[in-house]
Amino acid sequence: MTTAHSDSTGSRASQGPDYRPLLHALLAGGGVYLLWRLARGIGNLFWTIFGLTFAFYWVWAGRGFPW
């Protein structure tokens, strides 16, 4: 069955400008931004866990509080 909707040979000029490259660039930029934020979050989480672990070790090793 052939309908006008299934015909993909239509002119692209009549459909307006192609925004796919812009969409791809925006999606790639958003992905890089999310990866950067995730890496910063993991870094902050690491230093928080490291600091708490060091504090508990310091107290439980019998050294007491450092002040």
Residue 6 placed within a domain? no
Q: Identify whether the C-beta of residue 18 lies closer than 8 Å to the C-beta of residue 12.
A: yes
Residue 1 placed within a domain? no
pLDDT at 40: 95
Q: Which domain holds residue 51?
A: 19-60
Residue 26 placed within a domain? yes
Residue 2 placed within a domain? no
The pTM for the full model equals: 0.55
The Cα 9–Cα 34 span in angstroms is 38
pLDDT surpasses 90 at 59: no
pLDDT at 64: 66
Query: pLDDT tens digit string along 9-54?
Result: 555 667 888 889 999 999 999 999 999 999 999 999 999 999 999 8
DSSP label at residue 29: H
